[in-house]
Chain A
Amino acid sequence: MVNNLSLIREMYHTVERRVERLNKPTLCERLDAWLGEGYYFWYDKLDAHDWGKNSKNGTGEYEIYKSEVDCEDVLDTVFDEKHYRFWLKTIEQTADLIRKKTGFTPSIEEVNEYFRDRNIWGQMTGIMFQDLPANQDRIKVKKFFYKKRIQLAVYEPNIILNFEFILVQRC
């Protein structure tokens, strides 16, 4: 019980401001989404703001929602070393095979979509992933971007335990 509770994380979902408030997160179906089709969340509220300002600015304002997400069966490539090594190995193993068999190098989106399209890993409810932000305003030293920018792609919406509007802001 304690273990399970410790894997519930509070995360943030950013959208363009709409006419009506959302009562559930929006499904990202873009084919260039890094981790494939899913419900995308930010680990850090500051990254949720950056995403709103830079990418969800079509209506001039963005909204941020907050959810608790049960990460028990999420592949956690950020904080879990075994998961990270598994992720690294399987991405490279798959990319190598696609390149060897076809002669074409796949993108990271294509490798992730390959896992989904081939319907494996049904027990995995999402992937947590990081890159490094390049926003000088977010760091307290010069040049080195030491903060992880962490995203969660949720594939099974039933692990999103709640969904709450927290703010609207001008871009």
Chain B
Amino acid sequence: MLDLEKMQKELDDLLASETKESLLTWLRKKRVEKYDDFFGEGEYVPYYGQNIALLLEQESVPQIVDGGEDYRGDYQYSKAA
């Protein structure tokens, strides 16, 4: 049986130890992984390389649905414009 109090304390301690830098580093890595996962590592470097900073300016990453056919490029086009 899960000990929810212990789990809550684990989370409280963890969150208290986080800084802006530690969270930004983690979030950047996570979003880069997600783009790599979708596009294939390196395949979108020409665009992506120029806009790496913008990746984190998104409120959240674009919605990628199964198979990728409905990928919405709002981020690319709105930012590029």
Contact = CB atoms under 8 A, between A and B. Distances in A.
Q: Do A and B bind each other?
A: yes
Interface of A: 30-32, 55, 58, 72-73, 75, 82-83, 86, 89-90, 93-94, 97-98, 101-102, 104-107, 110, 113-115, 117-118, 120-121, 123-124
Contacts of A31: 30, 33-34, 37-38
A120 B37 CA distance: 24
What 6 A-B pairs come out closest when comparing CB atoms? A31-B34, A31-B37, A120-B10, A101-B20, A55-B66, A86-B4
Contact of B2 (A32, A101, A114, A123): A123
B27 A124 contact: no
B1 A94 contact: no
8 contacts: A30-B37, A31-B30, A86-B7, A90-B7, A101-B18, A101-B23, A104-B27, A115-B11
A104 B18 contact: no
A1 B49 CA distance: 57
Contacts, number: 76
A104 B19 CA distance: 14
Interface of B: 1-4, 7-8, 10-11, 14-15, 18-20, 23-24, 26-27, 30, 33-34, 37-38, 56, 58-61, 64, 66-67
A152 to B, nearest CB: 15
A104 B59 contact: yes
A114 B26 CA distance: 8
Residue of B15, B20, B27 with highest tally of chain A CB at under 10 A: B15
A145 to B, nearest CB: 20
Contacts of B30: 31, 110, 113, 117
Contacts of B67: 55, 58
Contacts of B11: 90, 93-94, 115, 120-121
B23 A118 contact: no
Given A31-B33, A121-B10, A102 B27 contact: yes
A19 B30 CA distance: 33
